[in-house]
A and B are shown apart, each in its own frame.
Chain A
Amino acid sequence: MKIAILIKRTPDTEMRFSIAADGKSLNATGLKHDISDFDGYAVEVALKLVEQHGGETVVITLGADAAQEQLRKALSMGVDRAVQLRADSVPFDNFAIATALAAELKDGGYDLILFGRQATDSAAGAVGVMTATLLGLPCVSAISQLEIADGKGTARRALEGAVEVVEFALPAVLTIDEGIARPRLPALKGIMAAKKKPIDVKPAALGDIRLTVEQMQLPPERAPGRIVGEGADAVPELVRLLQTEAKVL
């Protein structure tokens, strides 16, 4: 089985954010980057499948050279090889990204192509499904369980208050929700081995950009709340506030 995993380099959201002088991006100082959360799950899913069924894994990112750090991390987790589709920066235009990724994936002979359900930065959940549509491949999005057998797959995805069970034939595109598998940490042996694994660098064919950032802002702060009190003694005061001030009771 040959599996591609599409990963994005994104900032760690645990860090303190501030907006850069251009008003359109985050201040780079103090940011730490990692593989986008769900893409990490996708890497783990791919590695598990290959451990089970045999095969090859390829990690692909579209981005600037800094993203090689994330490709190396995936390699050190056990992925076999890496491709960087080089762009000076990653646009917000998900159709442009999907077009470039589809061009790279089209003749790759992949049985499975795995995406994260959504990227931590753009939070769009668009690129995976779009790429599948462009490739004309079956696609199941936001899956939380997966079984592959005899060239066929079964996946489960959570809806609001329900679960869908979806069957599909390979080759297929899947976007991975959490809950399938916790990503492994790279072991020292893996980190050493990763240094020798190849990263193939090619230009990204992005095309027209028709979705761009005009402005980035921090969310409005909630008005500072207050501690009503301690222990059960504070309950009457809380109830009074919910009735008279918040008017929700």
Chain B
Amino acid sequence: MATMFAFAEARSGELRKVAFEALRAARQSADDAEGTADNADGSKVHVLLAGPAGIGAKAGELGQCGADVVHVVEHDGLKHYDAESLAATAAALIKSTGARAAFFSASVEGRDLAPRVAALLEVPLASDVTGFEFSGDAVTVRHPVYAGKAIVSLRLTASPAVISLRPGAVEGSGFRDQGSGVKVQSTQLADDPSASKARVVRTEEAGGDALDLGEAPVIVSGGRGLKAKENFKLVEDLAAAFGNAAVGATRAVTDDGWRNPADQIGQTGRLVSPDLYVAVGISGAIQHLAGMRTSRTIVAINRDKDAPIFKVADYGIVGDLFEIVPALTEAVKRVRSEK
């Protein structure tokens, strides 16, 4: 069976990057399985797109990226995330389409939704997966465990296979331009959100047009080495010099209220993989490394030459950040203005 399902995560009426990652995984799985089975109407990748009125306008974009059928749910009860009705709707669709596998993102929302769907389908969840492969009746998935200190290959023999993908682990954009041909089907929610037993009453946006940590190609992060909240200016200035950078932080710093908790990177914060990660005054505790060790290039600035951050850093400078960071900011500005 080559029918696959993907959940298209959206927020504030916009598709999130992770929606395309789930879609791509579903498309790839369907294509890999092609020829092994037939589907009467040739539709192989079903996508659930749900949100408040107007969300259906995004179906075309999903079609261009490989969706065959987009099931659109528009309901004003979905202004905020409504776990119960979405889970029931997704589970019903996965059943009725006979999907072999269902892909979600292991984003914060996906981490809430996917286990609900799996439980409704009475199957285990392969969570936070960084790679997967179908073989016969089983799927083998890869998943980091023990705060990233080990990686397991898990064999999932249940069907449907419910899988949540670590954000960034699967390339989502620029996948394939399928042009038209997508079938858009409007659908109802399986349950009414007003009947949900737990309800989101408010979503408070962090605000600003700062780049999201999950999307920024460069992240400059600061730790307790900065000594005081106001010194984060140094980190912000360096990020601004790069032009395409977001600002991250360690838990030591978010705990002290120097930065918003949403900026925390690590085991219990965001998991990020930018092209460049600059760690300023960060010791490199295992829980912090768990969130950023897969970054392509890591730079560390720390006055302690034995700090564990230097073990994962491609390039390190030992010394006083208050002297080094301003010099680096000036140098980066110069390079970028010459371009």
Contacts and interface: CB of A to CB of B under 8 A. Distances in A.
Interface of A: 11, 13-14, 17, 19, 26, 37-38, 92-96, 98, 117, 120-131, 133-134, 137-142, 144, 157-169, 172, 177-179, 210-219, 222-223, 225-232, 234-236, 238-239, 241-243, 246, 248-249
B152 interface: yes
Contact of B150 (A92, A216, A226, A248): A216
A235 B200 contact: no
A243 B112 CA distance: 41
Contacts of A92: 152, 154
26 contacts: A13-B287, A17-B146, A17-B150, A94-B124, A122-B127, A126-B127, A141-B111, A141-B112, A162-B11, A164-B80, A167-B198, A178-B251, A178-B268, A215-B152, A216-B145, A216-B151, A226-B316, A227-B310, A230-B319, A235-B317, A235-B331, A236-B331, A238-B299, A238-B317, A246-B297, A249-B242
Instruction: Please report whether the interface of chain B is mostly helix, strand, loop or mixed according to DSSP.
Output: mixed
Given A227-B310, A230-B317, A133 B115 contact: yes
B296 interface: yes
Interface in B289-331: 293, 296-299, 305, 310-320, 323-324, 327-328, 331
B198 A168 contact: yes
B143 interface: yes
B36 interface: no
Given A133-B115, A225-B312, A236-B331, A165 B124 contact: no
Given A162-B262, A225-B315, A211 B108 contact: no
Interface stretch (B56-64, B67-75, B177-185, B212-220): B212-220
A13 B315 contact: no
Nearest to A140: B198
A243 B108 contact: no
A242 B212 contact: no
A124 B145 CA distance: 8
A121 B119 CA distance: 21
A218 B112 CA distance: 28
Nearest to B285: A14
Contacts, number: 275
Nearest to B323: A232
Contacts of A172: 197-198
Interface stretch (B20-28, B38-46, B155-163, B222-230): B155-163
B317 A248 contact: no
Indicate the size class of the contact surface on chain B: 35 or more
A93 B145 CA distance: 14
Contacts of A140: 198
Given A96-B124, A158-B262, A216-B152, A133 B320 contact: no
Nearest to A91: B124
Contact of A165 (B87, B204, B335): B204
B259 interface: no
A157 to B, nearest CB: 7
